Structure 1
Amino acid sequence: MMWTCFIYRVFVSFIILKRSNSLSSPIQPFTEYKHSTELQVNISDLWWTIDDAEREIVFELHVKTTGWIALGISAAGGMAGADIGVGWIDQMGTVQFQDRYAYNRSRPVIDYTTTDWFAVQGREQDGWTAIQFRRLLETCDSMDVPIKSGTNILIYAYGLVDPDANGEISYHESRRGSRILPLRYYIDQLPETEYADLDSFELRINHSVPVADTTYYCRVFKTQITYPTKRHVIAHKILLDSDSREFVHHMNIYECDPSAQFDNTNLPDGVCDDIRDQISLCSSTVVTVWSVGGDEIMTYPEEAGYPIGGDFTVNYYMIELHYDNPHLISNRRDTTGVRFYLGDKLREHDIGYLTFGTDSTAQALAIPAGADRFIVDSYCPASASLNIPKSGITVFCALPHTHLQGKPVVRIKLGDEFATRCIYDTRNKNLTTRGGGRTKDEMCIHGFVYYPRMNNLSMCLTHNDWSAWKRFLNVSVENFDETALQEILVKIKWTPQLVAQWQSFYDSTARGVTYGQSPFIIAETFAALPKYQDLEPERCSRACHTQISISSILIVLLARKAKRMFL
């Protein structure tokens, strides 16, 4: 899960001039770049520029080591299928570079098909290594991953020593990380020092990391903001604890419904499922989200801000944290949270959040094992967007979310329809994958940050109709529910024929759609979803190989009279 931020063109020159100078490397970059980001504080920095005329990207990677350093493009977020450039400065001061490919989570192999990563120059200084290198955006090499116009997943790692005499690299151990970046349209974030003189407030948890494989932890906060007139949050910073950030998979921050009432001396705090009844009014309206690989600072457009105080009646907020602790490590304290910065002047618009896609339940998502391309579509009808003002709303950030795109701003208008498509590859699984919040579960949602804020539409989600499930599974149980469905799913032995039948069911089954904003939720049922014409995938212009992402999300905004097709 990550933010992909859109921005008006008029902001571009401002952002380039004000790009962050807070990078930690002591080495001056070899040249000027359009974009830069700190991959890991005081450890690794990255600069890059895309040359569309040459269809080439130039990177510069700085890492605090005198050993080898590596940057890779990952198809799905992990090592498997990643295209990796590895470099180091040898004993003679000469830069060495390798094009490697990772078949799995073992050591990446040299790519002998073609060499597509090329070093330009490099040096060592003050215990850091800096290497400038380039690669074509599309190489048409089956052992490479294309750099597309949407979101790109970068992985990075480094060793403490140079490769051996045979050019083999040592194991990186924990010296690795990942970032999710729209390389073509990245909006460089301002350093936090830009907000040092502004008022701010924080929401932070303070408890021990649960000793469990996967935990969803929730805590409700009483707002301490009592401004008599409305003010606007203009930026926020995700606060990650250095001792526990390795366990934090993602964080959601929600508004509680204005009607929510709590004992302020004993606010809900614990495993989300254990306190679900207490927090039921705190999980529908999102304030912001963060996940591994996302930017930790987010700056809002100059014309919009998140409302606080005055007649804005939200009194409580909730943090939902997803912890991953597969090795069951104990005795780690966590103080993860968020800091909000308030501007000195009120802006023109309030910011809101919309969620489209499927419910995160087995009823909505039951993905068969052994499928190389299982498609789940969802639909939000034009009736939902009748809640949108006549002037429309402006989307400036997007959050596509599955578990394992900045372009210019998008205008959504009254009567538009929405469709989301998620494509899953489960060839590495033997059991059914169900919808849910755990990492081993799946999701298919797409969130938008937009303005001006609406108070009658925050979500539009799709699920399979229960009666359709009963007919498909030939079940006669009267009260067929989520528990009964899961009991069936865990027993299924998947075959190619059954996978095909399951896909046919998803392609044609009746769907329920719910939309609105709590407590006013509207439900509709559709005998089947509208059919869409897929656009032809972009073909490689240099060879016969076309790389396809293992997992992708496609979304389309459809005008009422427009031709329906997926983008």
Structure 2
Amino acid sequence: MTFSLLVCAQLLLLKLVRCNIDPTQAYERFFDLDGVGNVKLYWKYTDTHITFELHGQTTGWIGIGFSPTGGMRGADIIVGWVKNGNAVISDRHGVGNTFPPRDDQQNVELLTGAECNGWTMLKFVRPLRTCDENDRQITKNTMKVIYAFGAADPTDDDLTPINYHRMNKGVRSMILLEGPRFVTPLVPSETHSSFDILNNVSAIPARKTYYNCMLVRLPTLPTKHHVIKFEPLIQPGNERFVHHMLLHLCTKNEKDVTLLNTNHECYRLTSPADFSDCVQIIAAWAVGGGPHILPPHVGYPLGNTSEPVYAMLEMHYDNPNLISGVSDQSGMRIYYTPELRQYDVGILTIGQIVNSYSNIIPPTISSFKHYGDCPAECLETVMDEIGVDHIKVVGGFLHSHLLGRKLRVRHLRNGTELPNILRDDSYDFDYQEGHSLTEEVIIRKGDALQVVCDYDSSGRSTYTTVGLATENEMCLGFLTYYPKVPLSICETSPYLLELLQYFGV
């Protein structure tokens, strides 16, 4: 009797273990596709292939696709299911808002699949690039990933029109290659602490664009520490208002303490003078982005006597419908450690100076480019100042507004153009996620950088100026690099008179 009970207990345990729908391995990259945890995507990649693990809260079929527009037409679609204990995967293509037919050439390989407790898991691999006209290439650009699932498996051996997903669907913009490592844990041997910096805006102004700045005092730390992660804290319900936020360090440690934790409009002549030296960016987040984890060998310095005491939280509120009476306590959580890493990291803002006189975009043009340079002389001067002959870029992100379509950071050395440091030919204003470079890029003394922004103003009937408002434009890149040099901003703009002459004004 005892032996029988033991065997039954072991079989029950085995069944529970086999029914585990946790990821089958450790992944650095993860995305909650539907935003509520019902459709989860994990992935990894090599130079030639990408492996996906798709989890869906359904006992029916589930699929993802890569779409040129966010719809089904022209999409490269992968659908699978687990039926009677057997997993199935299929390579398909979208022809419209109907069920997708199978490709003649199947370029997806099933690795494993399981179903239990109301969940289905499929793990599969496909090449980054194929020769099939029905497949889309997986690139470093922002890609529109569509997903869908059904309540039941196919009745027969394959999908039929009756299996069309109806309302169980969605689309998300994602960076699959060199995107953020959301699943990467913090270094386990380190001691970690965190602090929150939160706004206390009683009412977001009923204006299309509003920049709020708030001065805060950083934690008092007895020795130097390293910031190693930050993440956004968006007040639930305010996601549509919070467009981006920046945490600036202030170089002067003498401040009017009555300004602490009070709200002021940024970039105005009436803004407090104590804000003027708060320009060094320590953390940056924009709409659609997630947490940012620094590589394990770098951290942003914080806490010793030579480091700033104060910081300024800048928040861009986007309120196109002029809604009034909305309060906000959004902000950032900053993680830090006393175990110093090998290098101090810095963030360098490059591109075009942001003011209404720096450039304009004519209307009704499908492609118009702006350029913002970081000259070799600027980089060389600050490298000499700390005695280094190069810096290394570990990541960054690109930024423009509604007209931006293609953005890149060019890298120039001795008159020769090297591979782009950052590039996105499918820029999405609503998904401004950071890039974590697979290989660090070395910028040497004498190198120059240039941000190029390609705009589409086909839908505009008047000129668009550079500026802070969402309807204005920007052309910026933010590079995370090490070792840290005494340079925060490296921007240029055209001469106004030459610009006006060019447009015949």
Aligned to 2:57, which of 60, 64, 75?
A: 64
Report the Cα offset of residue 27 of structure 1.
0.9
Q: Is the deviation greater in 332-341 or in 274-283? A: 274-283
1:235 match: 229
CA contact (8 A) 2:347 2:481 kept: yes
CA contact (8 A) 1:256 1:315 kept: yes
1:275, 1:127 → 2: CA distance?
59
CA contact (8 A) 2:66 2:144 kept: yes
How many residues end up aligned between the 2 structures? 439
1:442 match: 473
Amino acid at match of 1:378: G
Q: Is the deviation greater in 370-379 or in 154-163? A: 154-163
Q: Deviations over 1:38-95 (max 9, x none)?
A: 424634432224354xx3323121133456644344668x659873536364887765
2:168, 2:195 → 1: CA distance?
38
CA contact (8 A) 2:467 2:473 kept: yes
Report the Cα offset of residue 158 of structure 1.
4.2
Amino acid at match of 1:464: P
Report the Cα offset of residue 316 of structure 1.
2.4
Q: Does 1:463 align with 2:493?
A: yes
Q: Deviations over 1:484-515 (max 9, x none)?
A: xxxxxxxxxxxxxxxxxxxxxxxxxxxxxxxx
2:46, 2:61 → 1: CA distance?
27
Structure 1 pair 267–249 and aligned structure 2 pair: CA distance change class (3 A)? closer
Identity, % of aligned pairs?
Answer: 28
Amino acid at match of 2:145: I
Amino acid at match of 2:398: P
Residues 403-418 of structure 1 aligned to structure 2 (within 5 Å): 403=401, 404=428, 406-418=437-449
Report the Cα offset of residue 460 of structure 1.
1.5
Structure 1 pair 186–286 and aligned structure 2 pair: CA distance change class (3 A)? closer
Aligned to 1:221, which of 215, 231, 247?
A: 215
Report the Cα offset of residue 296 of structure 1.
1.0
2:194, 2:271 → 1: CA distance?
31
2:91, 2:323 → 1: CA distance?
36
Report the Cα offset of residue 274 of structure 1.
6.2
1:387, 1:471 → 2: CA distance?
35
Structure 1 pair 330–317 and aligned structure 2 pair: CA distance change class (3 A)? same
The unaligned stretches of length 5 or more in structure 1 are 1-24, 476-567
Report the Cα offset of residue 354 of structure 1.
0.9
2:10 match: none
Report the Cα offset of residue 388 of structure 1.
1.5
CA contact (8 A) 1:205 1:334 kept: yes
Structure 1 pair 468–41 and aligned structure 2 pair: CA distance change class (3 A)? same
Residues 166-181 of structure 1 aligned to structure 2 (within 5 Å): 166-172=162-168, 177-181=172-176
1:467, 1:26 → 2: CA distance?
67
1:520 match: none
| 3-state SS of paired residue (1:335) | coil
The unaligned stretches of length 5 or more in structure 2 are 1-18, 153-158, 402-427, 429-434
| 3-state SS of paired residue (1:264) | helix
Q: Does 1:85 align with 2:81?
A: no
Report the Cα offset of residue 110 of structure 1.
4.0
Q: Does 1:42 align with 2:40?
A: no
CA contact (8 A) 2:369 2:453 kept: yes
1:108, 1:398 → 2: CA distance?
39
2:281 match: 286
| 3-state SS of paired residue (2:449) | strand
Amino acid at match of 1:153: M
Q: Does 1:155 align with 2:150?
A: no
1:102, 1:286 → 2: CA distance?
46
1:195, 1:215 → 2: CA distance?
43
Report the Cα offset of residue 286 of structure 1.
1.0
Aligned to 2:394, which of 387, 393, 396?
A: 396
Amino acid at match of 2:164: E
Q: Does 1:261 align with 2:251?
A: no
| 3-state SS of paired residue (1:238) | strand
Q: TM-score w.r.t. structure 2 length? A: 0.72
2:123 match: 132
Structure 1 pair 72–258 and aligned structure 2 pair: CA distance change class (3 A)? farther
Residues 381-530 of structure 1 aligned to structure 2 (within 5 Å): 381-385=375-379, 386-389=381-384, 390-391=387-388, 392-403=390-401, 404=428, 406-455=437-486, 457-475=487-505
Structure number with higher strand proportion: 2
CA contact (8 A) 1:116 1:139 kept: no
Report the Cα offset of residue 428 of structure 1.
4.8
Residues 271-350 of structure 1 aligned to structure 2 (within 5 Å): 271-272=265-266, 277-278=271-272, 280-281=275-276, 284-302=279-297, 304-325=298-319, 334-350=328-344
2:268, 2:168 → 1: CA distance?
39
| 3-state SS of paired residue (2:376) | coil
CA contact (8 A) 2:345 2:481 kept: yes
Report the Cα offset of residue 151 of structure 1.
4.4
- CA root-mean-square deviation: 4.0
1:231, 1:188 → 2: CA distance?
23
